[in-house]
Amino acid sequence: MRTSQFPLSTVKETPADAEIASHKLMIRAGLIRKIAAGIYTWLPLGLRVLRKVEQITREEMNKAGALEVLMPALQPAELWQETGRWEKYGPELARMQDRHARDFCLGPTHEEIITDLARNELKSYKQLPITYFQIQTKFRDEIRPRFGVMRSREFVMKDAYSFHLDQESLQETYDLMYQAYSNIFNRFGLKFRAVIADSGSIGGAVSHEFHVLADSGEDAIAFSNASDYAANVEKAEALMPLGQRPEPTQDMSLIDTPNQHSIEEVSQFFSVDAASCLKTLIVKAEDNTLVALLLRGDHELNPIKAEKIAGVLSPLQFASDEEIIVACGCKPGSIGPIGLKMPIIADRSSTLMADFICGANQDGKHYSGTNWLRDLPLPEQIADLRMVIEGDPSPDGNGQITIARGIEVGHIFQLGNKYSEAMNAAIINEAGKNQIMLMGCYGIGISRIVAAAIEQGHDERGIIWPNELAPFQVAICPMNMHKSHRLADTVEKIYGELSDAGIDVLLDDRKVRAGFMFSDMELIGIPHRIVLGDRGLDTDTVEYQGRTDKESQEVAFADIVSFIK
Ligand code: ATP
Ligand code: MG
Ligand code: MG
Ligand code: MG
């Protein structure tokens, strides 16, 4: 490709809504353009990367024996009603009606469609196991689309679905997919981890997420320092019994001060380390309703969690900040926080991290120690607000937790019979009887991976693509080619040789200054740069510089293809 035929759409400005590096760089490098909130056009340069992500994924799916299909994005409500998800899925489902007022949705995922296909196409156990996959556009009306294509409302996903006679076969395909996913992310050249996950609205029992590790990731991942344990923090929290938390140190009934205290004062009072692990209870008693927050100091608030916390706090309509009562301590055996006067240490603007435990205290009963928390009914929507932090015991009992941030780029599930039973997807088994199939499903966020790769690979000058995903592997930047026939001929020759070797080359044939070419090529993240000038013609060399190299080096014409390969 030549820049004369493949115009670069680099821009200086970053949009005001771009909070993270990948979003800014995807706009600046001219990979995407925004159409509406969470809806983007892929420009030619961005599409080249997206297609490479797709292609590697497709190759590995084929290798794993999955069969490619293409299902409709537009899905009839009837199928979703069969599984009950038409009601359950909520406002993220993009619903619409056709001209006859029949209900449809734009597919956020395809369990219903594939299960319908399977129940019609698969008749005999001899056809099992079978895995279908597709690479297709999904629609989710995200409450807060953000970070460009990272969390958009229309995005490309690879989704695969497998069908089985028994659990053993499901486990086998699940393991095969786990391996295929590891191969895919290794080929992308990204640092990733597979972690135990919650299966969320898709359902099922066993599931793993694949995360690209990056500080800007929306998910927190809990690792044990003494075992292979790695889980999405949400999952680790769900598994963490409250009783495992270290007990607070002081009896809260000792405190009787109406004053505002800083978290530091309170931590001194209770001789606990505010920064690492301050276990504090916020209690709000109002009309027999009890809200308790377990606070741990100095923790950055994850936006999703903050939203949930705010969502639970706001309907309580605190008349003033003073009404949020904070109790520290709650030593086992001491009187619980109800009805006691406690110091106020937090207001609503506090940046303290909070763990939520909430329940109705209908009988006014006195609870003691932290155990009373366990007895409280946890409203479903906030039960997952428990928090695992650095230093907590690992849920597998081995070692302590450290936490890193990750971007969820893949998710595999053992669905079991959740969809097949609801939709009566059965085959004839060996005994000649009807048998409901078991299912697995396997997703990869194709478009999110482009952004995740940039989160992991960038510097102040722009994107640093891994070789496999780069829109072009090599940029040729000739110096004053338009003034020298001799140079132009050599440039064409090298361009031809690299292209013939199967390398994607971008030849910058614009009449622009060298500095201008370089900054464009660095911004769009081309891994290898070759500079050709009249001087090199005399020595038969080019000036080569890798995207992350500090300095350039001379490479002989004759060696350039093998040097880059
Ligand atoms: P998230 O937790 O980020 O909302 P999810 O768990 O809802 O993702 P899945 O249903 O597991 O997503 O879908 C499979 C994959 O699709 C995810 O692992 C992710 O990579 C990708 N994905 C999901 N939602 C989006 C989105 N709004 N924009 C881009 N990619 C997405
Ligand atoms: Mg989601
Ligand atoms: Mg998720
Ligand atoms: Mg998921």
Dump pLDDT digits (tens) for 543-555: 999 999 999 999 9
How far are the Cα atoms of 201, 272, 355 from residue 249, in angstroms, in the given order?
Answer: 39, 8, 18
Task: For the chain, give the number of residues.
Answer: 565
Give 499 or 323, the one with higher predicted confidence: 499
Give 540 or 378, the one with higher predicted confidence: 540
SS3 397: coil
pLDDT at position 60 over 50:
yes
Q: Which residues contact 240 (CB under 8 A, 6 or more apart)?
A: 386, 388, 392, 395
- Please name which ligand lies nearest the alpha carbon of 445: 1
In testing the pocket of ligand 1, which one of 111, 446, 448 has its CB within 8 Å of the most ligand atoms? 448
Q: What is the mean pLDDT of residues 71-97?
A: 96
Q: How confident is residue 344, by pLDDT bands cut at 50, 70 and 90?
A: very low
Dump pLDDT digits (tens) for 215-269: 989 888 999 999 999 999 878 766 654 433 333 333 333 232 333 334 444 344 4
DSSP string, 239-265: H--GGGSPPPSS-GGG----SB--HHH
**Dihedral, 415, 174, 79, 71 alpha carbons, nearest 10:** 160
Give 515 or 355, the one with higher predicted confidence: 515
Per-residue model confidence (pLDDT) at position 175: 98
Percent pLDDT > 90 in the chain is 63
Per-residue model confidence (pLDDT) at position 253: 30
- What is the helix (H) or strand (E) element at residue 414, kind and residue range? strand 401-416
pLDDT at position 2 over 60:
yes
In testing the pocket of ligand 1, which one of 408, 414, 444 has its CB within 8 Å of the most ligand atoms? 408
pLDDT at position 489 over 90:
yes
pLDDT at position 47 over 60:
yes
Q: What is the mean pLDDT of residues 515-526?
A: 97
Nearest to 203 by CA among 362, 28, 83, 46: 83
Which ipTM was obtained for this model? 0.99
Q: What is the mean pLDDT of residues 408-422?
A: 96
Dump pLDDT digits (tens) for 182-209: 999 999 999 999 999 976 666 667 899 9
Q: What's the CA-to-centroid distance between 367 and ligand 2, angstroms?
A: 37
Q: What is the mean pLDDT of residues 133-159?
A: 96
Question: Distance (Å, rounded) from C-alpha 533 to C-alpha 516?
Answer: 16
Question: Distance (Å, rounded) from C-alpha 511 to C-alpha 146?
Answer: 37
Question: Distance (Å, rounded) from C-alpha 157 to C-alpha 122?
Answer: 25
Count of alpha carbons within 13 angstroms of residue 269, beta-carbon side: 20
Mean of pLDDT over the chain: 79
Per-residue model confidence (pLDDT) at position 201: 61
Percent pLDDT > 70 in the chain is 72
How far are the Cα atoms of 167, 185, 201, 430 from residue 171, in angstroms, in the given order?
Answer: 6, 21, 21, 20
| Lowest-pLDDT range of 71-75, 197-201, 207-211, 282-286 | 282-286
pLDDT at position 290 over 60:
no
What's at 150, amino acid-wise? M
Question: Distance (Å, rounded) from C-alpha 158 to C-alpha 255?
Answer: 56
Per-residue model confidence (pLDDT) at position 227: 93
Q: Which residues contact 365 (CB under 8 A, 6 or more apart)?
A: none
Per-residue model confidence (pLDDT) at position 199: 66
CB count within 10 Å of CB 205 equals 10
- Please name which ligand lies nearest the alpha carbon of 40: 1
Q: How confident is residue 534, by pLDDT bands cut at 50, 70 and 90?
A: confident
Q: What's the CA-to-centroid distance between 148 and ligand 2, angstroms?
A: 15
- Please name which ligand lies nearest the alpha carbon of 448: 1
Q: Which residues does a 6 A CB cutoff place in the pocket of ligand 1?
A: 109, 140, 142, 151-152, 155, 157, 200, 202, 408-411, 443, 445, 447-448
Nearest to 294 by CA among 201, 173, 392, 417: 392
Atom of ligand 1 nearest to the CA of 444: 15
Q: What's the CA-to-centroid distance between 200 and ligand 2, angstroms?
A: 9
- Please name which ligand lies nearest the alpha carbon of 108: 1
Atom of ligand 1 nearest to the CA of 443: 14
Nearest to 231 by CA among 217, 241, 219: 219
Q: What is the mean pLDDT of residues 306-313?
A: 42
| Lowest-pLDDT range of 40-49, 110-119, 345-354, 380-389 | 345-354
Q: What's the CA-to-centroid distance between 40 and ligand 2, angstroms?
A: 18
β-strands 280-286, 289-296: how paired?
A: antiparallel
Per-residue model confidence (pLDDT) at position 311: 43
Question: Distance (Å, rounded) from C-alpha 408 to C-alpha 213?
Answer: 9
Atom of ligand 1 nearest to the CA of 201: 10
What's at 279, amino acid-wise? K
Closest C-alpha to ligand 1, atom 23: 445
What 8-state DSSP symbol labels residue 492? H
β-strands 39-42, 32-36: how paired?
A: antiparallel
Find how far residue 322's CA is from the centre of its chain. Answer: 38
Q: How confident is residue 487, by pLDDT bands cut at 50, 70 and 90?
A: very high
39 token code pair: 């809806």
> CA-based angle 265:266:268, to the nearest 5?
65
Closest C-alpha to ligand 1, atom 14: 443
How far are the Cα atoms of 335, 476, 514, 532 from residue 492, in angstroms, in the given order?
Answer: 84, 10, 18, 11
**φ, ψ for residue 338, nearest 5 deg:** -70, 130
Dump pLDDT digits (tens) for 368-397: 233 333 343 333 333 334 556 677 778 788
Per-residue model confidence (pLDDT) at position 387: 54
Per-residue model confidence (pLDDT) at position 238: 65
494 token code pair: 């090298």
Atom of ligand 1 nearest to the CA of 140: 27
471 token code pair: 């829109």
Q: What is the mean pLDDT of residues 413-428?
A: 96
Which residue has 């002081």 as its token pair?
Answer: 250
pLDDT at position 65 over 90:
yes
- The region that residue 392 occupies, defined by phi over 0 for left and psi between -120 and 50 for alpha, beta otherwise, is beta
pLDDT at position 275 over 90:
no
Surrounding residues of ion ligand 3, Cβ less than 5 A:
408
pLDDT at position 564 over 60:
yes
Q: What's the CA-to-centroid distance between 347 and ligand 2, angstroms?
A: 30
Q: What's the CA-to-centroid distance between 490 and ligand 3, angstroms?
A: 51
Closest C-alpha to ligand 1, atom 28: 151
Question: Distance (Å, rounded) from C-alpha 49 to C-alpha 449?
Answer: 10
Q: What's the CA-to-centroid distance between 116 and ligand 3, angstroms?
A: 25
Question: Distance (Å, rounded) from C-alpha 307 to C-alpha 104?
Answer: 30
